[in-house]
Amino acid sequence: MTRYIRHAAAFCALLLIALLVNATRVQVFQAGSLDANEANRRNAIVRFEQPRGDILVDGRPVTGSRDTGEQLRYERTYKNGPLYAPVTGYASQVYGTTFLEHAEDDILSGTDPMLAPLPLWNDITRAQNPGGKVETTIKAAVQQAAYAGLGGKRGAVAALEPSTGKILALVSAPSYDPERLSGTDRAVADTWAELNSGATKPMLNRAIRQTYPPGSTFKVVTAAAALDSGAVTDPDAPTKSPNPYTLPGTSTQLTNEVDGCTNASLRYAFQWSCNTVFAKLGVDTGLDPMVGTARNFGFNDRGLRIPSSVAASNFDTSMDRAQLGLSAIGQYDTRATPLQMAMVSAAVANGGSVKAPHLVDRTTTEDGDVVDTAGTKSLRQAMNPGTAAQLREMMTQVVDEGTGTNAAIPGVTVGGKTGTAQHGIDNSGTPYAWFISWAQADDDPEPSVAVAVVVEDAAADRGDISGGGSAAPIAKAVMEAAIGAH
Amino acid sequence: MAGTSAGTAPPAVPAVRVPRRRGTELTLLVVAVLLSVYGYCAVGLAKNDTVPPGAAGYGAGLGVLALVAHLAVRLRAPYADPLLLPIAVLLNGLGLVLIYRLDLETPHDEAAPAQLIWSTAGVGLFIAAVLFLRDHRVLQRYAYLSVVTALILMIVPIFFPAVNGARIWIRIGGFSIQPGEFAKILLAVFFASYLAANRNALAYTGRTLWRFKRLQLPTGRVLGPIVAIWLLSVGVLVLERDLGTSLLFFGLFVILLYVATGRIGWIAVGLLLAALGAFAVGSLEPHVHSRVEDWLHPFASIDAGRGPNQLAQSLFAFAAGGMLGTGLGLGHSILIGFAAKSDFILATAGEELGLSGLCAIFLLYALLVERGFRAGLALRDAFGRLLAIGLASILALQVFVIAGGVMGLIPLTGMAMPFLAQGGSSVVTNWIMVALLIRVSDSARSQPVPTPAEAE
């Protein structure tokens, strides 16, 4: 019997070995994929186990955390939620994260290895770092002015510091309070459904995720291309432009809202926004210089991140001459985000150099030790500095005595460009009112702010919509705030 | 002296003094109790940053139980294997720690206090068994009483309502027991007794199949019991929806039959019948079928949008533990849900103690089993040998079936991890099993050391 007992013992040993092998399989070899399984709630539990790091505006947190004592313990709270929603985004237990909450999640949630005091420290201790802080470039006063200026009208504002690319304001209206998406209860799901079903799309970040036809504000780009390519050498010389202008190869006639555009100079056409002159100028300049300049300003860039990804602004790269003429006045397929148009304005203000727009000044640990600092990075040279100087002058004239007088600020040099963008089938939609501008206080060495405002106010009377009328006053308020905060 | 082989020939040479090793046992017991108290404190420190208020009481209680059990062994089974009791105490202590740890997540449903009471009852029965059962061979006389009692115990739950899909409970008032657990020991006693009495008939009669001597099968008359047991196990399974217990009984019987007769034919028949039965039940019985489906596709419910099922949650827990574990109190195996403290307790061990802790636990079980086999090898009487092998096999099979189930190695069956899992019947039964192992090991080790000539 002894022999058979040994056999039975060997069988039991075999069972044990099978268990050990299987335990190793599950705990070592499959552990990675099991840990990463989306249905594994541990990730969420660990994630919400500690307060999330704060997002700071002007050194003050605009976010907070609330201890709920539940399984997903800490909920995100927001101060001035609707005001900063386009900057912070939301951090929801149920619906994930967006914008800075998403782009800087590793810092905020404490998982970024850079937060650890020593490399590999956390691998040894298995401890989690407290969430770090994200200091934004946003100026509260500028943000507030932009938000108040829009006054709930559908639209967006983007404001930049031209010399650095720091984003001073990023506003989208109507907005929403991201705090309503924190937590796990029924109300969160209801809020989500409500926000998504609304026709006004309050969660859409119009400043960086929505593109609009830029209308006449695009004439800045066209003018830069014409001057840089040599299509125009003297801004004050007549441009041999007919009025109306028949788009090449078609019978479509382009007209103007203002008089005096026949054969007008570039300066006059810019000041009074002559469609005929700029459409012809685009055609004269040619497709390649136009595409090249648009690209240098940032159009067709699918990789722009601030660090949230920015929707690509579009300027078609293959068009016939009629389409090019329309595109040159910001119509046809030309589309731009408000941030892109702020970059256009900033490029003019900054001698033609486009600085990388960014929203995060620096990230720190909870204790304030710097993890990463954003430096000023040049993206591209959009135009020659001489061209930029000429455009600055022309933009200033727009505000001094052209279509943009509503943006004038006493004691401050302001340059601007209005735009009214037709859209919809046969231009049936309510036009978008645009205004892009920059401002330089007289005692400042260089412009301190560049702004783009778009108002898509469906409720307004169609006749009243013009960049100068509804968008320029908002830009003015933003510039005043920026100069005040400067 | 109790349990000595009084009937065998006296030693021809002057007796070598057999070491008793009671001091070893006491030392190991102290270690086991200290380890348990340490675990208890670790949970409290991890969860609440304080040593749990009951730590001293818990340690004292466990220490007193261990000490009294040790004294009983010292008094009545002085030659018993010194590893058995410390391993049982350590596993039981660790189980209490894990249950206490899970209780902290479910403050309205505490299981540790009841488990402590059952453990005390188990140790009480252990002591009683060690004190009053002077010779394991006495049990041989009660073989048929055992099997009748076992059958009654197994059949009774059919008349009680199902709990979580399985009809294995008797509920009287707030008090519930799982009689199948006790039936394990009774069946082991019966099998050992029956096979010890009939092993020659089983081994040397029957007809040869395919001309291979090894595949010689017994006649229908002798084949009767195994078929009866097989039908019984499948019957239990179908009526009570208890795959684990039926597998356990069947495996136990096949192992003992093989050990008693050495006939591979039995194993062939056993495997064939088991495969047939398992296939039939696995594909026909919906409750068992769903278990098989869960085993094959543990993440199907996630893909279907219903979230992870218990098995998936259990796999997540093991994975979260990794090599070293999260540390006691720092895991999230409570996500497994209602069976976290019972069937799935191993997942908590796997998550919080890691692969290293799990290996330690498996090795503790392995040692327990090995000590049972060792006693079986050393004993001279067939009944005692088969009883020891039977008890050890029950432990091994049960650990394999439940651990394999919660780790996705085999389909899941509702069974309790010996000593670790919440469950009064289970912990009491396990203590009785350890008492019987103590008794047989005492008999085995108190036998005079064979001379070199005898050992051949």
Q: What is the CATH number of the domain that holds A73?
A: 3.90.1310.10
> With contact defined as beta carbons under 8 Å apart, do B13 and B452 qualify?
no
| pLDDT score, position A262 | 87
Residue A116 included in any domain: no
Mean pLDDT throughout A40-61? 90
Residues A415, A267 share a domain: yes
Residue B253 included in any domain: yes
Residues A215, A95 share a domain: no
A chain contacts of residue B358, beta-carbon cutoff 8 Å: 23, 27
Its domain, for residue B228, covers 22-449
Its domain, for residue A74, covers 43-110+131-136
> With contact defined as beta carbons under 8 Å apart, do B341 and B424 qualify?
no
DSSP line for A98-152:
-HHHHHTHHHHHT--GGGSSSTTHHHHH---PPP-EEEES--HHHHHHHHHHHTT
Residue A394 included in any domain: yes
Residues A106, A214 share a domain: no
Cis peptide bond N-terminal to B161, omega within 30: no
Find the helix or strand (DSSP H, E) in which B395 lies. Answer: helix B382-406
Domain count for chain B: 1
| pLDDT score, position B435 | 96
Q: Cβ of B393 and A7 within 8 Å?
A: no
A452 strand-pairing partners: A158, A436
Q: Cβ of B262 and A126 within 8 Å?
A: no
Angle, to 10 degrees, between the axis of helix A219-229 and the axis of helix A287-297? Answer: 120
Residues A348, A457 share a domain: yes
Domain at A403, CATH number: 3.40.710.10
pLDDT in tens, chain B (456 residues): 444 444 455 555 555 667 888 999 999 999 999 999 999 999 999 888 888 888 888 889 899 999 999 999 999 999 999 999 999 999 999 999 999 999 998 888 888 889 999 999 999 999 999 999 989 999 999 988 988 888 888 888 878 777 766 677 777 766 677 888 888 899 899 989 988 888 777 777 665 555 555 555 666 666 677 678 777 777 776 777 777 888 888 888 889 988 988 877 777 877 887 788 778 877 887 877 888 888 889 998 888 888 888 999 999 999 999 999 999 998 988 898 888 888 899 999 999 999 999 999 999 999 999 999 999 999 989 999 999 999 999 999 999 999 999 999 998 887 889 999 998 899 999 999 999 999 999 999 887 655 555 444
Residue A185 included in any domain: no
- Using CA coordinates, name the residue in chain B closest to A127: B326
> With contact defined as beta carbons under 8 Å apart, do A153 and A455 qualify?
yes
Around Cβ A106, how many Cβ atoms within 10 Å? Answer: 16
Residue A292 included in any domain: yes
Catalytic residue (one of A216, A265, A273, A466):
A216
Residues A276, A390 share a domain: yes
Residue A10 included in any domain: no
Is the pLDDT confidence value at A70 over 90? no
Q: Cβ of B319 and A34 within 8 Å?
A: yes
Q: Cβ of A42 and B260 within 8 Å?
A: no
The residue from A86, A121, A136 where one domain ends is A136
Tokens of A410: 């006493």
Domain count for chain A: 2
A chain contacts of residue B350, beta-carbon cutoff 8 Å: 23, 26-27
Residue B16 included in any domain: no
Tokens of A122: 């956390």
Residues A106, A238 share a domain: no
Pick from B319, B365, B399: which is nearest to A27 by CB? B319
- The amino acid present at B201, given as its one-letter code, is A
pTM: 0.76
Give B60-93 pLDDT, tens digit per residue.
Answer: 989 999 999 999 999 999 999 999 999 999 999 9
Residue A340 included in any domain: yes
Nearest C-alpha neighbor of B394 from the set B432, B352, B340: B432
Residues A213, A86 share a domain: no
Residue A261's Cβ-side half-sphere holds a number of Cα atoms within 13 Å equal to 23
Q: In terms of DSSP H, where are the helices of B156-263? A: 179-204, 220-240, 243-261
- Using CA coordinates, name the residue in chain A closest to B308: A39
Catalytic status, residue A216: yes
Cis peptide bond N-terminal to A174, omega within 30: yes
Give B259-291 pLDDT, tens digit per residue.
Answer: 988 877 777 877 887 788 778 877 887 877 888
